[in-house]
Structure formats: structure tokens, C-alpha cells
Amino acid sequence: MIAPDLTVELPDELGRVHFIGIGGSGMSGIARMLHSRGVLVTGSDRSESPTVTALRADGINVQIGHEPVAVRDADTVVVTGALWADNSEYLWAIDHGIRILHRSRALAWLVRDHRVVSIAGAHGKTTSTAMIVTGLRGVGRSPSFVNGGVLANVGASSGQGTDPEFVIEADESDGTFLVYPTSIGLITNIDSDHRDHYGSDEAFDDAFIAFANGCREVVVVSGDDPTLLRLMPRITAPTVTFGESDGVDYRVSNIESSADGVTATITHGAEVVVFRLPVPGAHNAINATGAVAVLCALGVEMSAAAAALGDFAGTGRRFELMNTTRGVRVYDDYAHHPREVRAALATAKSVVGDGRLIAIHQPHLYSRTRDMAVDFAREYENGADFTVVLDVYGAREDPITGVTGALVSDAFIDQTRVAYCPDWMDAAKIAAAHAKAGDIIMTLSCGDVYRIIPLVARELDAS
């Protein structure tokens, strides 16, 4: 893992830019934005993917595999923290004095001279960012944006607008959400995570306080989140609250979720609006309320903001229907924290009706699996009818001795409702064997678990 160097001075011009790991959700969006501004962009990634195909279709040259020759003509190299420090392109750039920017610094270069709207939080960032962009576009505004996931109704994770507003998903995992000149901020929640970077919950909390107090106009925060409520006295920036709790500035109530979507009521002072989202999940109604509060801070009338969110079609890898075989629906979700898993499973349960829910869990990060295995087991045992646990997707971490997916499966109280299966072919067979028409199979992780879905579909078709 490469620690981001946030001290690198931003140049007036980047010159020719090469992205190492351009296929990542955040990297690809920034690359597209630079390309749309006339910057010569190239990239490399370890494998082909739909994202790589789309980048090439946009005119960006992407090579598969990492070779030093790819960076020899670059003036600037953009890297992500998930990159290993022994990457040959990265090392060649260092040895030859090529400017290296962490992706957050490249994004900071893009948002210069804009009115920046930054969405932060342990969960719900991508969805909330997409909702705010959808709302602005729905009332005739033209924001620029870079999101961590594809907006379904736009078909891209980034876009160049003509208005001053620039909406970004601000990543807290490595502290880089503090580098942007945020005017309006949104904090969806604060949930203990990323101890590999922060070292303690106190340092994690301090970073969010710094983010909130760095907002130049206003920060919108959850009035339901216990950590935010505890930290509220330390926030000195103008603050607006939202949530289900009494006394918040934008209160959501009467939430009803079904397979057709979710409806709810927002109350702000004397104003009351009823809205509907075409995506299911009570958590989406709460996210939408935070988005409405931000839109109002941007000068949009509340009724217009709520109505515009009726066009929100979701984001990639957030309860995304991937396949239907023999009456079994297969969804994919990015959930990789116990709280996110709880929300994703609750959404699936509101959709499945009388059917059963079979989850396929790919643990993400060795440290998170070690620290939260019992929490994951509890959420899956409470929310799914049966769970298949794969092995750990290490991402930016080296393996930790003794940490495998078995830590999660072993923590189940009822061992008849879980199977630890590191072999993906066997895992697909087990999941398919438990499913019948009307059921849902859902993959959950921000790793590459979605790649198991064709195997699951094949097993369903053969059953």
C-alpha cells in the first residue's frame, strides 16, 4: 500500500498524465474528467474490465499489465493507495523524477476554482453523491461530479458540467477527504473503520471533526448517528441536521420500502413533502433526506429537490440486479462493513417477499475481518437465510496469519446456516443448491465477488 503524499504542490498544468490502476472506480472517473478537459491521459490496469472497455471507447489508451514503458512519456503519474509500492511503473517514475500525485491530489487539481460539495461518511457516500447530482440535474443545474460508482441514470461515474458546483465523493479511508476546498459538506455517519490508517477511533473521529470544521459554508450531518451526536459540540462550522430523530432540521418519517421503491415524508419547519424513490431500502430514504438538505443549501426549493430525486435510478454495485435464472434473482452489493451489510440485507428482505435470501460474503481486508468477524456473522445470521463465506480479499493489505473467511463462518451460532467455502466453484454450487424460484442470491463485498455471479448463474441453470 502506498501512503498518499499530500504535500506535493499542485502545478498549473499536469502535462501528459498516466494512471496506474486506471480501472478503479475513483481513478477512472478522474481520468475521464481530465480527458474531457483536453489533458492527454493514458493508463494501465492489471486486467480487462467493463470500465477499461469504456475508457478506451472514450479515447483513452489503456494497457493491460504494468510495464515501465507505459510511463516514459508521462509528465504526471497518478496513483491510488491500493497500489503496491513495488509496482514497476511506480518505481520507474520515482527513479526518473516524474511528478507523482495521489488520486486525491489529482481530484483536488480538478476542483480548483469550483464551489465544492463533498460527501463524506463511513457508509452511503456513493449513493448520497449520486442523489445530489441527480437532484441538481433534475432542476436544470449542470454540476461537475466525480463519484465512487456509476450513476445508473447517467451511465458514468463522473461528468463535466457548466455550473460552479463540483460534487465529489470524499474518501475518509486514508485521510484524503481533508485535502479538498469544501464549501458544503455532508457527513452521512461515522462508524469505526480504517484502523490500518488512523490507528485509533479517536484519530478517526478527529479527522471527521477537521472535515466538518473545514466546510466554508455549511456542513450537513446525520442527527441519528450516535458518534456524530457525541462529536457535535466540537463542530464549529454552521451545521444542518437530518434523519429520523425528533428535533433534526430535516426529518424523514413514514418510510415504506417495497420491491417497487421507497416512499417517505420530509418535514422541514412548516414545510412537508412526500417523495418516492424508484429504488428500495429504508436507508435510501434517509440518504435522500441528507441529499435534500444539501440541495436546499445549494438554493434548491425543498419540494423541487424531493421531486427531482424521483429520477434517481441507483448506482453501480448498490443492490444491483445482475442476473435472473430460473426465477432466482441475483443481486450484487458493495457492502463491506457490518452496518452496510445490515442495510443491504434489509433491502433485499423488503424485496424478496416470501422467498429466501442467500448471501455470498467476501470478507474485505484482513484487518477488518480480524476485528469485525463476530459483527459480520451476527448481521448475516440475523438478515439472511443462508450465507456462503468466501476467503478474504486482501486489497491493499498483506495477509495476516490465521485470518481467513473461516473467522466469520465460525462465529455463527447456528452452523447449519453458513458454509465457509474458499473455492469459488464449490461456493457457486452451494449457493445455487439452496435457491429456488422466488429467492434472491446476493453477493456482498467491495472486492471482486461480483465475478462469481456467472458461475452462480451457470449452476442455477443446470439445477
Q: Which active-site residues does the annotation give?
A: 125-126, 169
The Cα–Cα gap between 117 and 298 comes to 9
What is residue 353's three-state secondary structure?
coil
- Look up residue 459 and give its three cell numbers: 449452476
At residue 251, what are phi and psi to the nearest 5 degrees?
-105, 130
C-alpha cell belonging to residue 405: 473467511
- Find where cell 424460484 sits: 437
What radius of gyration, in Å, describes the C-alpha atoms of the chain? 22
DSSP 387: E
C-alpha cell at position 240 = 444542518
Report d(CA 21, CA 85) in Å as an integer.
Answer: 13
Cα dihedral 371→377→383→388 (10° resolution): 120
Q: How far apart (Å, rounded) are the C-alpha atoms in residues 64 and 44?
A: 6
Cell representation of residue 146? 466525480
- Grid coordinates representing 312? 434517481
CB 43 within 8 A of CB 60: yes
Q: How far apart are CA 41 and CA 34, in angstroms?
A: 7
* Residue 123 neighbours by CB under 8 Å, 6+ apart: 188, 189, 191, 337, 339, 340, 343
Number of Cα atoms under 13 Å in the Cβ half of residue 30: 31
Cell, residue 437: 424460484
Instruction: Supply φ then ψ for residue 89, to 5 degrees.
Output: -70, -40
**CA trace torsion 312, 314, 316, 317 (10° rounding):** 170
Residue type, 343: A
> Going by DSSP bridges, is the β-strand pair 99-102/271-277 parallel, antiparallel, or unpaired?
unpaired
